[in-house]
Structures are given as C-alpha cells and as structure tokens.
Chain A
Amino acid sequence: MTDHIANGTLTTLEAEHEEAARHRAAAERGDAPLLPSERLWGFWEFTYANSALAIATWAFLIGGAIGLFVGPKEGIAAIVIGNIVGVVLTALATTTMSGRYGVEQFIALRSQFGYNGSRVVYVLAVVVLTMGWLAVLAMMFGRSIDGLMALSAGEAANPTGIKMIIAAVGAILVTWFIVARGPTSIKFFNMVVSPALVILMVVMLYLILSHHSFGELLAMPALSPPFEDKTLNFIVAVEVNLAAGFSWWPYIGNLARLTKNERTAFWPNILGIFGAAALGEIVGLLAAVALGESDPTIWMTKIAGPVIGIIALLFVAFANMTSMANILYTSIVGLRQVGTASVRAISWGTVLFLFCLIPLGLVVVYPQMYDGFFIFLVWTSALNSALAGIGIVDYFFLRGQKLDMRSLHGPQENGPYRFWAGFNPIGLFALAVGCIVYVAVFNPQTLASLPAFKYLTASLPAFVAAGAVHYVLTRLFARGRGWGQYP
C-alpha cells in the first residue's frame, strides 16, 4: 500500500519535472519570457558570446572596404566612431528590454509594430540581411578555394570564375546540411573558430607590422577614394561603420535575453561587439592598404606567402562556413517563431533549403555582389537605424521601460497589440519615414548625397526622424484609439 502511494507520488513528480523541462525549453526557444532564475550568462559569459559573434571573416571584408575610401588613420577613426555610435544605439534599442524581461526580441516587437507588423519587420530586417550575408560569405568561401587552387598550381586566381561559383554553391549546400543536423554541430565549430580567428588576426597584424612601421602605415593613402573631397570620403567611411554597428539589430536582443539582468545585457556589447568588430576591421584595413588590395582572400596570400597563405585561406573558408551556419540557424529559429502555422508546419530541413534558394541564385547570377558588398551593408542601415530609433522612443519614452508580458505572449487577435488588423500603422509609417530620410540624405547605390550628409551622416537623421515620427503620432493618435496599451 505504502509502495503504491510512493510509486504514484514518484510518477507524479516525474511528470511534473518533465513538464517543467518542456516549459523551460519552450521559454529558451522564445515562446515565453525567461525568468531571472533561468538566465545563466553573467558579464564575461555574454562578452565571450558577443565576441565570438563579432569576430568573423566579415570584419576583414568591412575593414578592406574602408581602405577603399580613406587611409588607415582616417579609417581607424571612422571604424571607432561609426561602430561605437551604431552599437550603443542598437544595444539600447534591443538589449535593455530583453535583459530586463527575458523576452524574445520579435515578440517584444509586437508592442511597437503589432503582431503582424513584427512579422513584416522580421522578413525585412532578418531574412533579407541574412540572405545577403549568406551569398557574400559563400562567395568569400569560393574565392578562398579558388585562390587556394591557384596558389597550389602557381596560376593566377579568377575571383568571379566558374571554380569560385561551384565552391560557393557547395558552401551553401554544406551549410544547409550542417544546420539541418541541428545546433550541436554548430556549437562545436564556434568553440574552435572564434579563438582561432583571434590568433589569425594577431599573426596577420604581426606580419603587416614586420614589413611596415605603424607610422608608415598611418601615412598610406586610400586605395580608391570615390570623391576628391576628403571629408566626404571620411563620412562615407563613417557611414559604412555606422551600418556595421546597426547591423547587429536583428541578432543581439535574443542573445541578451539569456543574461542575468539589464546591466549584463547591455555593457558586454561595448567590449564584445564593439571591441572585437573594431579590432578585426582595423586588421583588415591595415592589410588592405599596406598590400594595395581590399579583398582578404587575395591580401592573405600576398602577405603570408604560399605556405601560410594556403593555411590562412583554408581557415578563412572554414570560418566562413561557421558564420553562415550561425546566421542561417538564428534566422530560421526566428522565422518559425514569427511565422504562421503553415510556415511552422514545413519541416526544418525543407524550410532551410527554401531559405537558401535566393543566396544560391545570387551566387550564380550576381557574383559581382561581393566587390560591392558594402553597398548592400549600407542599404541595411536605412532600415536598422530607423528600427533602433523607433525601439528607443517606444520603450524608453512612450512606455517608461514597462512591457506587459501577459499581453505580449497571450492570444493576440483581441489583445492590446492588435492595433489595426495586427499592424501598427504608426510604427510602420515611422519606419518608412526613416528609410526615406536615409535614402534622401545618402543613396547607397550611387553614393550621391545631400550637403547635410557631410555633417550628419545618413543613419543618424534616419534614426532621429523615425523616432520623432513614432513619438509624435503615437502621442496624438494611439491612446485615443486604444492602440498598444500605451500609459
């Protein structure tokens, strides 16, 4: 009799444990807010995770692109100025609320854009950005392999040739295969690649400084300045770095929700994201200008000679695959979170493959995208800077840093974040205004700009315009209509 009761109690306890574990796993995936006791990352853990994300091969690419516009002295200044402003504003817009409430970033976004509006923002900000980066990184992989084969055979590389395209297509397909197997394989690559990239950066920096003194490097000219006006070239370089700083908008909020509190969600971004990205970009910039070549897959072979060059290129190819796997995995997890029931019904492997089709098309049809990748990066800032402006205004100034977890996670159809058919017209209009202001001040495609661009950049006016429009229209119209539960 006693045994029966004991067994029954044990079974009930086991069932409760299982249910608690299921709920916690669902909260980790973003379906519910993580409780303070469930969040494990302190300051250094988050700094390490941030650094691992920021130290990627794209830092070499951005640094090299800066070398096209300005010399190393102006370039280092532009890297620091653009990145610190972009990262601080992005972190304020995303990590403070995630760190306080443990809420998934795109669920929190329902309070700014409505439950359907947040889906639109997800597609624009995450899907487009990730597809573009997947294509660029795959092409960088392809160029590394092409350079490797050319170096081994003693021939000249052909960076847009058929070998590059085949290797890039292969990179996307292998990435699809890795991510389809789940997150465990990605974690393994991360543990190896991030520290190894730091070593690669130090070796590259040592090799550069063994050929040129720091003073000589600082005095070198830009590779291909687009304008005669040096201030304009400098501001374009600052703008590219602002875009790099703002480009963390889709990713850091969801990392910050794993931290213990608001402070540990915010400050590590300064050390991890800003510090690590700036270091990688500066190495890329110095190497590009010293060797007269902005493409890392070419300057690495020039600086390091055939043997170390082959090792460096192999490693860059490997590191690119890791970055691709990271961003693909994060995007698809988020896509299933914001997606409709029909999207969630598609199998993991199939949705991954469908997502890879556009990057595959870009690699085959538009391999020239790689050389102008900074144009694509700057385009994303038109959106990300406006999103940061709206995020800061909504969370800090309109809501007084208070979010309603019950309404954000409960049924949405009749909830306060329904706005108008699930869309907040004010937030979406403010976003459109921010983007229009950006393109009016500075056209990323043609580099044409208004005179104000030299003094204000384009990201900052877009940030301010979107925030101001969102604030004024919300104060005027949202409360009266009962939209969004504004206090």
Chain B
Amino acid sequence: MENDTAWQNELARRARIYEDIEASGRFEGTMSALDYAAVTALTLVLVVAFWIWGA
C-alpha cells in the first residue's frame, strides 16, 4: 500500500512536470512548421522523382 502510494506520488510528480512545461511553453526541440514543410517536400520530391525515373 505504501509502495502504491509512493508510486502514485511519483506518477503525479512526473505528470506535474509535463503540465508545468506545457503551461509555460518550455517544450524543447518541438517540430516546427518548417520541419513539417521540409518532410512533406522531401517525400513529394522523392515520390515524384522516382515515379518519373522508374515507373
């Protein structure tokens, strides 16, 4: 029971840390619009280029 309480406290502590990070907008290294644009462009370029070359 004591262990269970300690574990529930630990879960609450970890959740609170993420809530604080979220509330203050302190997430580091988040994917930006540029990241999403870059991965979309990379995918489209590869698909179109290899389609034209190989299909």
Chain A residues engaging chain B, CB cutoff 8 angstroms:
19, 23, 26-27, 32-33, 35-36, 73-78, 80-81, 84-85, 88, 96, 100-101, 231, 234, 260-264, 266-267, 270, 402, 404-406, 409-410
Contacts and interface: CB of A to CB of B under 8 A. Distances in A.
Contacts of B39: 88, 266, 270
A84 B43 contact: yes
Given A234-B55, A406-B15, A260 B10 contact: no
Contacts of B29: 260-264
Q: What 4 A-B pairs are tightest by C-beta distance, nearest first?
A: A77-B54, A261-B29, A406-B15, A405-B15
Contacts of B8: 410
Contacts of B46: 80-81, 84
A130 B32 CA distance: 34
Decide if the interface of chain A is mainly helix, strand, loop or mixed: helix
B50 A23 contact: no
Given A81-B51, A270-B39, A263 B18 contact: no
A75 B46 CA distance: 14
A76 B30 contact: no
A57 B55 CA distance: 27
Given A260-B28, A261-B29, A406-B15, 6 more contacts: A75-B54, A80-B46, A85-B43, A231-B55, A409-B11, A409-B15
A262 B7 contact: no
Interface residues of B, number: 29
A232 to B, nearest CB: 12
A211 B18 CA distance: 58
Contacts of A260: 28-29
Contact of A32 (B14, B21, B54): B14
A50 to B, nearest CB: 16
Contact of B55 (A77, A88, A267, A406): A77
B30 A262 contact: yes
Contacts of A270: 39, 42
A220 to B, nearest CB: 14
Contacts of B12: 406
Given A85-B43, A402-B22, A261 B51 contact: no
Nearest to B32: A263
Contacts of A96: 31
A81 B27 contact: no
Given A100-B27, A261-B27, A261-B28, A27 B14 contact: yes
